[in-house]
A and B are shown apart, each in its own frame.
Chain A
Amino acid sequence: MSDTAEVTRVDAPTRAGALRRVAAERWRWIVLAALFAAACYAPFQLVPFRVFQFTMVLVYAVALLGLNLLVGHAGQISLGHGAFFAVGAYGAAIMLDRFELPYPVTLPIAAAVAFVIGLALGLPAMRLRGLYLALVTLAMAIFLVPLLKRFEEVTGGSMGLTLPKPAPPAWTGLAEDQWLYFLALAVAVAAFLSAYSLMRSRVGRALHAIRDNEAAAETMGVRLSFYKTLAFAWSAMFAGAAGCVYTWVIGFVSPDSFAVTLSITLLAGLVVGGLGSLSGPLLGGLFVMFVPSISQDVNEAAPGVIFGLLIIAVMYVAPTGLAGLTGRAAHSIRKTLRKE
C-alpha cells in the first residue's frame, strides 16, 4: 500500500496497463471493505476488555497517522508527539470538566488547538534541518509534564482529572465499551480518509518531494518552510484528535500518562508499522497496544528491549516496516495467483 510504489508504477498509458491498474485498485478496496466489515463486527464478538484494547489501537492509529504525515511523508522527525496527544487529551478533559461542553464539540476544538500550537512551534523549528526539530520536540515533551502539574487549578495537578465517559444513546442499544469503540472507529475512518486524500493532492506530492530531496523540491517551486510547518501543524492536529478520543475512552487524564515515553513509543510504533504508508499507522497501533501488554509478563523492561531492537532492525533490513513486508507478501501472492 505504499504511495511511493504507486507513483513509480504509473507506466505507459496502454489499455492493458490501465486494466491492471483498475484491478489493483479494486483489490485494494475489497480488502479495505472486508477489514471495515470485520471492524464493525468485532465488538459484538469480543469481551469488553478486548473491545477496549482495540479501541485504544484505533486511538493510537490516529496519532500515528499524524506522525506519519510528518516523519513518513515529509521526512521530519518529531520526538514529542506525545505532547500534542496530551494537548488534545487535556483540552478535551478541561472542556468537559470546567465548561461542561457536550463531548462531540470537544473533538474539533481539541484538534484545532493542537493545530495552532503545532503551527506556532513549527515556525521556529522548521527554519532549520530536521535534527533541530527533533531536539525542540523532545525538549517540549519533557517540559510538558511539570507544566501540567504546575497549573493545578485547571489541570488537576499530579492527581489529574476524572471525567464521565460518553454514554451510548438509548436507540443504539450498545454497551458503553462498544459505543466508545464505534466513536473511535468513526474518528479513525475520518482520519484515514482525510490523510489519504491529503497525500494524493498537490500537498502530498510537495511533501514527498521535500522528503526525497529538499534542494530539488525547492528548485521545482515547493516552498520548503511553508509545507514543512504545515505538515507539522497537521500532524499535531491528528495527535490532538487522538488525544481527545483517548480522554473519552479512558475517562481520566494525568500528567504522567504523557511523559516522554509516550512520544518515543509513538515513534517506535510508526517505524515498526511502516513509514510513509497508509496501513503503517494501523499496524503500528496494533504493535504499540499489544506488544507491551504481552511482553510485560516477562519483564517490566521487555517492551523497551523489543522496541529498541526492532527499530534498529527495521531500519537496517526493512525500512518500510510491517506495512512494507505485508505489501510485498500481498504482491507476490497476487503474482502467483495471476500466473495460474
Chain B
Amino acid sequence: MTGFLQQLVQGLGAGAIYASLALALVLIYQFTGIVNFAQGELAMFSTYLAWQFTAAGMPFWLALALTLAVSFAGGMLIERLVIRPVEGAPELTVVIVTVGLFIFVNAAAGWIWTFLIKDFPNPFPGGALEAGGLRVSYSTLGVLVVVGLVMGLLYLLFQHTRIGLGMRAVATNPDSARLVGIRVGWTLALGWGLAATVGAVSGVLVAPLLFLEPNMMGGVLIYAFAAATLGGFDSPVGAVVGGLIVGVAETLAGAYVGFIGSDLKVGVPLVIILGVLLLRPQGLFGRAAVERA
C-alpha cells in the first residue's frame, strides 16, 4: 500500500509539470483558438536562458525571475511578429506556422547551445520528507508548490484584476470586447506572454529531472496535449486536473503494468487522447462546441 501511495505522489509530481505546460497551451487556445505546437520548444528555450544566467554566476532565483520576464516579453513579441499575420487564417495555416516555429526554436537552441546535454541545477534541496513510511522528496514537493502558486496567481489575475477581466472578455467574445474599448490585439499578445511565462516555469521544473537538451520538451509536450485534451482545451482548471490525472496514470501504468514498463509509458498519452476523443470529445471540463454553419 505504501508502495502504491509512493507511486501516486510521484505521479502527482510528474503531473504537476504536465499541468503547467498544459496550462500554457490552454491559455493560448482560450484567447486565440490556436493550439501552439511550439509551446514546449519555447519552454525549452526559456530553460536554456535560465541555465545561461546561472552559468554566468547569477543566484538561481534571480536567474528564474529574469528568465520569466524575458519569456513574457518573448511570448508577446512572437504573437506580434509571427502569429499576428496569420490571425484569422484557416486552422491549417496557423498550425503549420506554429510547427515552423517549433522547428526553428528547436534548431536555434541547438545552434546556440549545441545538442550536448547539460546539467541543470535543482533549486530544491536533495532530501525527502518522511511521514508514515511515505517518502516525498523535497523536489516533488517543490514542484507541487510552485505549480500551485502559479495557478493561484493566475486565478487572482483573471478574477480580481482589471486586466484579467479584459482578458476574460476577449476570450469570451473578441468583437464585443473591442466594442467596449478593450484593446484586443494587446490582450492577445498578453495571453501569449503569460503562456510563455507559465511554459517557462514548466521547463525550469522539468530540466533537473530530465537533462537539458533541445529535444527535452518533445515528450513533455505530448503529455501536456493529453492533459489539455482530457481536461478540455478551453478550461484552465481542466488542464491542471488533466495534467495530474495523466501524470498519475502514466506513473502507475509504468510501475504496475509489466508489459508497458518505463519504455512504453509514452503510449499512455496516445491512448488517453484517443479515448477522450471517442468518448467525450470536449474533455472533462470543456464546453461542447455547437457548430452553426
Which of A's residues lie within 8 Å of B, judged by CB? Answer: 71, 75-77, 79, 124-125, 127-132, 134-136, 138-140, 142-143, 146-147, 149-150, 215-216, 218-219, 260, 264, 267-268, 271, 299-305, 307-312, 315-316, 319
Contact = CB atoms under 8 A, between A and B. Distances in A.
B277 A128 contact: yes
Given A143-B267, A300-B110, A319-B93, A308 B104 contact: yes
Contact of B97 (A136, A301, A303, A311): A311
A315 B107 CA distance: 19
Given A216-B293, A315-B96, 7 more contacts: A124-B277, A127-B277, A143-B264, A301-B109, A307-B104, A311-B103, A316-B86
B110 A134 contact: no
B91 to A, nearest CB: 6
B100 A315 contact: yes
A26 B35 CA distance: 45
A271 B218 CA distance: 22
Given A124-B278, A267-B96, A136 B103 contact: no
A146 B266 contact: yes
Question: Binding site of A, secondary structure by majority: helix, strand, loop or mixed?
Answer: helix
Contacts of B274: 124-125, 136
A303 B277 contact: no
10 contacts: A71-B92, A132-B229, A139-B269, A142-B270, A300-B114, A302-B107, A308-B102, A308-B105, A308-B106, A312-B97
Contact of A315 (B97, B269, B273, B291): B97
Contacts of B99: 79, 264, 267-268, 311
Interface in B216-274: 218-219, 222, 225-226, 229, 263-264, 266-267, 269-270, 273-274
Contact of B95 (A131, A147, A312): A131
B222 A308 contact: no
Interface of B: 35, 37, 82, 85-86, 90-93, 95-97, 99-111, 114-115, 218-219, 222, 225-226, 229, 263-264, 266-267, 269-270, 273-274, 277-278, 281, 291, 293
Given A139-B270, A142-B222, A215-B293, A312 B100 contact: yes
Of A131, A139, A215, chain B has the most CB atoms within 10 Å of the CB of: A139
Contacts of B102: 264, 308
Given A130-B95, A308-B101, A312-B97, A136 B85 contact: no
A264 B263 contact: no
Contacts of A218: 293
A264 B41 CA distance: 14
B264 A312 contact: no
A305 B97 contact: no
A129 B91 contact: yes
Contact of A140 (B93, B95, B225, B270): B270
Nearest to B105: A308
Given A128-B277, A150-B264, A312-B97, A305 B108 contact: yes
The 7 residue pairs across chains A and B that have the minimum distance between CB atoms: A304-B107, A308-B104, A311-B100, A215-B293, A301-B110, A308-B103, A301-B111
B222 A138 contact: yes
Contacts of A149: 263
B100 A134 contact: no
A125 B219 CA distance: 20
B16 to A, nearest CB: 21
A147 B103 CA distance: 24
Contacts of A303: 107
Contact of B96 (A76, A301, A311): A311
Contacts of A79: 37, 99
Contacts of B110: 300-301, 304
A48 to B, nearest CB: 31
